[in-house]
Chains A and B, each alone.
Chain A
Amino acid sequence: MPSGHGAITLAWAAATDVGHRRQVNEDSFVVEPPIFAVADGMGGHAAGDLASEAVVRRLGDVISDGFVTPAAIGLALAQAAHDIAHLDGTALVGAGTTVTGMALTVSGDDPYFAVFNVGDSRVYRYLSGDFEQVTVDHSVVQELVDAGAITRGQAENHPDSNVITRAIGFNEPPMPDYWMLPLEPGLRLLACSDGLSKELSDEVIHQALAAGRAAEETAAELVRAALESGGRDNVTVVLVDVLEVEPGA
């Protein structure tokens, strides 16, 4: 516990569904302080579910009582990439996964969430009316948007919408992006696979987070909405609420 703070109270929930079209749920998740994460094994690739399992297992290994360093996350992801490279029977086709989530960490004496991302799963942030997508997709479409070649609107139905530019696995060293977000009471972070973000618009996700329902209920509601909207992919959500951040004595 950082000296500047008495106690941090969190609530969290996770929900997942295979969806209406897929036979296998290739998503995996871990929700245990200080790590909350979603991994989406590559659809169509061999052993995508093993790859996403490998990354959440490695993240699970760094779970401790208090906080983790972002370097520990980087190391866990590198180890997962190594595991995935050695999955049986995948040497020729390759296997890979996205991963995104948040980990409790400390800078100075203050607690932060280190949000991390590789691929096109997402973390959204909601705090007192403000809603934003924290992570930036590692996807061809996002690169086209960044380059000004297409608009956000055109991005939604782009034929390359499922092509990602970074992953854990496929014999690449992982290149995670990080964001540091201060812990504030009322902060609500949502990590999800693209089975949610491709089915529901930002407005719908925003409404669900703003509705003021408990984490568990909100997570279940989001998955239900994604299934009603088509459920074309596996859908997984992990939700964390910061209830209290008590200043220490």
Chain B
Amino acid sequence: MTGAFYLPEQTAPDQEWRLLVSERFLGAFGPDSPVSLMSTLWRIAADPTLGLDALVAAVPTRGAGAVHSFAIAALGPATTFVVRGDGCADIAVAGRMRRVDARGNEPWYVAELQAVERFALGPLQRSPGDLHPGAQDIPLEGGVVLGPWLGWTHQLVVTPAPRRLTAPTPVQSPFDTNVLTDLGRRAASLDRHRVEPPPTAPTPETAAAAAFRLGDRPPERVDAPVYVGRQPRSPRVTGPMLPRLVRVDSPSREVSATHIELRPTAEGLVLTDLQSTNGTVVRQPGIGVRRLESGESLPVVPGTLIDIGDGNVIEILPYR
């Protein structure tokens, strides 16, 4: 018995959150979370050797495919909540109710609470109620489902009601007043979220998503800056999106230690020669071959071949 439950209610697709339940983790991920991500998260959540950090790290928070809102709870002696964007956790703890939300913190906000009795994970724009399972709620033993929010209680005593597939009960207005007695600050935070919805990042389906393949290695999606070289290192990076470093063999040392950067942007991939000693040769489909000067940048499209020397050729591919 995981203690998790939800209301299997039909809602508009843009209000359907992805709800994940495993033995150790509960999570509600915003409607923009792709299904492929959910299966990755499920595998991580089910792997006893991986912790909360691995789960959180697997959720892209920048660039193409960024997930703008989620709320994750890691169960344990203390319960750790990680919330982002419009995701929040309403928590009954020590007989009191409180809400943990990100309040604009990037990439997420973390809170750890002792003696948590019940909680619900979901969007900010939701009245938490008393967080007790209702008659229409059904328990969840594990897996990923769609729903408006995910509940959890220390002692689950819900009697499963027959699932109602038609005539769902009227949904409360998404902008219903937050019943927490707590603080104008939270109201301000809610207002901020309403007035300034986060800008929509390109989804993986747009042209911006790309992958690369080095020689006969398996293709890799570019969702963070990639540095390729003989002994690559990254420049200063701020934020959670850590670069991918790709080391290549270069017996004759034609390849510089950190030779090129591939950076995902909203408009597509940008290749930069990082002041390499021997330069970079680029073959662009329909354009031909050109040599990048040391330090020069160039947008690259799928089909482009990038030769950095010593037989190391990187091919840009469309993603899936």
Q: Do chains A and B interact in one complex? A: yes
Question: From residue B189, how far is it (CB to closest CB) to chain A in Å?
Answer: 14
- CB under 8 Å from chain B, chain A span 110-160: 110, 112, 114, 136
Q: Select from chain A the residue with minimum beta-carbon distance to B242.
A: A70
Within 8 Å CB of A184, what residues of B? 231
**Chain A hits for B145, CB < 8 A:** none
Number of interface residues of B (CB under 8 A): 33
Question: Which of B19-27, B85-93, B108-116, B297-305 is found at the contact surface with chain A?
Answer: B108-116
- For the complex, give the distance between the alpha carbons of A175 and B93 in Å: 29
With a cutoff of 8 Å between Cβ atoms, the chain B residues found around residue A175 in the complex are 238-239
Q: Which of A35-43, A74-82, A219-227, A229-237 contacts B (4 or more CB under 8 A)?
A: A74-82
Shortest distance from the beta carbon of B74 to any chain A beta carbon, whole Å: 10
Known: A110-B247, A179-B234, A182-B247. A75 touches B242 (CB 8 A): no
CA distance A175 to B233 in the complex (A): 20
Task: Report how far A179 CA is from B243 CA in the complex, Å.
Answer: 9
Partner of B52, one of A75, A114, A180: A75
Q: Cβ of B56 and Cβ of A75 under 8 Å apart?
A: yes
Query: B82's closest neighbor in chain A, by CB?
Result: A75
The answer on a CB contact under 8 Å between A79 and B110 is yes
CB distance from B229 to the nearest CB of A (A): 9
Contact, CB under 8 Å: B237 / A177: yes
Chain A binding surface, main DSSP class = mixed
Which secondary structure characterizes the binding site on chain B? mixed
Contact of A182 with B57 at beta-carbon distance under 8 Å, contacts A108-B247, A112-B245, A173-B105 already known: no
Question: If the complex has contacts A71-B56, A71-B57, A78-B108, are A177 and B236 also in contact, measured as CB distance less than 8 A?
Answer: yes
* B247 proximity list for chain A (CB < 8 A): 108, 110, 182
Interface positions of A from 63 to 98, Cβ below 8 Å from B: 68-72, 74-75, 78-79, 82
Closest to B232 in A: A182
- Which single residue of chain B is at the shortest CB-CB distance from A106? B245
Q: Which of A159-212 contact B (CB under 8 A)?
A: 173, 175-182, 184
- Is the Cβ of A75 less than 8 Å from the Cβ of B53? yes
B244-A108 in contact (CB<8A): yes
* Cβ-defined contact, B53 with A107, below 8 A: no
Q: Which residue of A lies closest to B243 (CB)?
A: A180
Tell yes or no: A62 within 8 A of B by CB: yes
Asked if B180 CB lies within 8 Å of chain A CBs, one says no
Partner of B245, one of A69, A71, A173, A180: A180
Q: By the criterion CB–CB under 8 Å, are A180 and B238 in contact?
A: no
Residue from B54, B111, B235, B237 within 8 A of A82 (CB atoms): B111
* Chain A residues near B245 (CB-CB < 8 A): 107-108, 110, 112, 180, 182
Q: Please name 28 pairs of A and B residues whose Cβ atoms are closer than 8 Å in the assembled complex, sorted by A.
A: A69-B53, A69-B54, A70-B242, A71-B53, A71-B54, A71-B56, A71-B242, A72-B51, A74-B107, A78-B110, A79-B112, A82-B110, A82-B111, A82-B112, A107-B245, A108-B245, A108-B247, A110-B245, A136-B236, A177-B236, A178-B236, A178-B242, A179-B234, A179-B235, A180-B237, A180-B245, A181-B233, A184-B231
Other than A72-B54, A173-B105, give 11 A-B pairs with Cβ distance below 8 A: A75-B52, A75-B56, A79-B112, A107-B243, A108-B245, A110-B245, A173-B109, A178-B236, A178-B237, A178-B242, A179-B235
Task: Rank and list the top 6 A-B pairs by shortest CB-CB distance, nearest first.
Answer: A71-B57, A72-B53, A180-B234, A107-B245, A173-B105, A78-B110
